């Protein structure tokens, strides 16, 4: 196995190659690993990898013989052992980020700022935060980086422990714990306890938790080497010239940072700043927190031309939770713009209280100054008889049949919902 490890590192260093699981994304001299899922066996795609001139192909298919193909009996074990091998070689510090909201944006924030402070930095790819996503990111990390930042997501008990047993980070950040994905946990307390397992890393130097007044019991579960912040206690003022000046008080200290982030993302800028300020002594705060930290479908404003007019789409179509949806709706409602249309998809994995969370959203919107709101997905559709003033659709396909008449009447469109609603398809059709 060591021979294969060395071969992989040689190819990666010589050709600046990436490790990929998908031949569609494979480039010349990349390393292809054929993983097996419930739907596909990656080993069957070796011909595509050969055609694209992969530098190395690792598959479980003993019938295939080629100088660039290595046979691996157990792909999953191989990937795990290779990750452990790489982490043993790594001399930098590892940052792990989890939480119900803001993980990806804060990860990107921290990455951008560390780079601007002249550190060599690696990060997990996009929002790849499950076990396989973590392993993919580890295998593609730069071994000479000063810091490597990984996003960790869990949907079920014991997943965090599994991730930490692989990664063993030095610095850990919980961005907040809300009711997202609670459906796979017994109760909220179980969710909290599983999130807190991030601090069981054997290499932990410092931990950081953002919590709210609504969760006072969280304090009792925090270890001595873990710091707390409560955004409820922070008073924020924002002024704008070319950039936002974000001024805030925390623990009787005054801070000021610059950013082109706005709305809910001001919170992610503050959390990112406090994390870096407290744990990385060489961090220089004069650098900006940039809006490029927001990846696609996480708050991007998309401009599209429709019937000779420009439509602004506030795209939050990737995911949704009660907390994030309420926050984003609040900021959209505050915007001094006209002809506002909201397209809201159902929220998933909320357990037995799902109906109550959706009712809460409907009641909030009733008090807002929005011109029209569309609700999509089964969870909202079940409530259509209770809220006669709104339009409900079971799927995005049902709405796209008639959406042209809305596009003629509205210039600003807010789109947010859980991934399974596929609301990005609506945006594509505009």
Closest CA to 333 of 361, 300, 303, 297: 361
83, 168 in Cβ contact below 8 A? no
Q: What is the pLDDT of residue 211?
A: 79
Q: What is the DSSP secondary-structure string of 293-344?
A: GS-TTSSEEEEEEETTEEEEEEEE-S---HHHHHHHHHHHHHS--SSEEEEE
pLDDT tens figures, 371-392? 999 999 999 999 999 999 899 9
> Cα–chain-centroid distance for residue 310?
29
Q: Are strands 93-98 and 171-174 parallel, antiparallel or unpaired?
A: parallel
Q: Report the C-alpha gap between 103 and 288 in whole angstroms.
A: 19
The pTM score is 0.87
> Cα–chain-centroid distance for residue 241?
30
Query: For the residues 251-262, what does the mean pLDDT come to?
Result: 79
Which structural domains are found in the chain, ordered by start?
A: 2-72 (3.40.1390.10), 90-293 (3.40.1190.10), 300-429 (3.90.190.20)
pLDDT tens figures, 64-102? 889 999 999 999 999 999 999 999 999 999 999 999 888
> Cα–chain-centroid distance for residue 64?
38
More confident residue, 177 or 397: 397
Question: Helix, strand, or coil here: 375?
Answer: strand
Residue 2's pLDDT band (boundaries 50, 70, 90)?
A: very high
DSSP-derived letter for residue 409 is T
> Cα–chain-centroid distance for residue 363?
28
pLDDT tens figures, 102-131? 898 899 989 988 988 899 999 999 889 999
93, 170 in Cβ contact below 8 A? yes
> Does the pLDDT value for residue 151 go beyond 60?
yes
């Amino acid at each position: 196995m060591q021979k294969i490890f060395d071969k992989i590192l040689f190819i990666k260093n010589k050709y600046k190659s990436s490790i990929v699981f998908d031949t569609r994304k494979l480039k010349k001299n990349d390393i292809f690993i054929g993983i097996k899922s419930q739907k596909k066996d990656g080993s069957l795609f070796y011909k595509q990898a050969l055609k694209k001139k992969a530098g190395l192909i690792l598959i479980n298919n003993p019938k295939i013989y080629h100088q660039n193909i290595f046979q691996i009996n157990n792909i999953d074990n191989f990937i795990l052992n290779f990750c452990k091998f790489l982490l043993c070689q790594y001399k930098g510090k590892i940052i792990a980020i989890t939480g119900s909201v803001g993980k990806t944006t804060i990860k990107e924030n921290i990455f951008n700022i560390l780079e601007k402070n002249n550190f060599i930095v690696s990060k997990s790819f996009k929002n790849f935060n499950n076990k396989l996503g973590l392993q993919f990111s580890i295998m593609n990390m730069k071994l000479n980086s000063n810091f490597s930042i990984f996003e960790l997501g869990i949907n079920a008990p014991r997943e965090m422990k599994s991730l930490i047993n692989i990664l063993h980070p030095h610095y850990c950040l919980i961005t907040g714990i809300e009711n997202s994905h609670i459906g796979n946990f017994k109760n909220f307390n179980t969710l909290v306890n599983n999130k807190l397992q991030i601090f069981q890393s054997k290499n932990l130097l410092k931990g950081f938790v953002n919590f709210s007044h609504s969760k006072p019991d969280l304090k009792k579960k925090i270890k001595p080497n873990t710091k707390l912040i409560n955004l409820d206690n922070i008073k924020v003022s924002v002024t704008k010239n070319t950039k936002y000046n974000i001024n805030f008080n925390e623990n009787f200290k005054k801070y000021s940072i610059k950013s082109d982030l706005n709305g809910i993302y001001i919170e992610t800028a503050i959390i990112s700043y406090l994390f870096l300020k407290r744990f990385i002594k060489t961090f220089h705060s004069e650098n900006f927190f940039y809006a490029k930290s927001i990846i696609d479908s996480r708050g991007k404003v998309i401009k599209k031309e429709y019937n000779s007019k420009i439509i602004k789409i506030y795209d939050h179509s990737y995911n949704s939770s009660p907390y994030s949806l309420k926050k984003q709706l609040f900021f959209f409602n505050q915007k001094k713009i006209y002809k506002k249309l909201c397209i809201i998809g159902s929220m998933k994995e909320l357990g037995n209280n799902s109906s109550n969370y959706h009712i809460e959203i409907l009641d909030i919107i009733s008090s807002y100054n929005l011109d029209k709101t569309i609700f999509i997905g089964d969870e909202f559709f079940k409530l259509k008889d209770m809220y006669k003033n709104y339009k409900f659709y079971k799927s995005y396909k049902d709405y796209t049949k008639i959406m042209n008449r809305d596009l003629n009447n509205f210039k600003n469109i807010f789109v947010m919902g859980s991934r399974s609603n596929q609301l990005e398809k609506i945006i594509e059709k505009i």
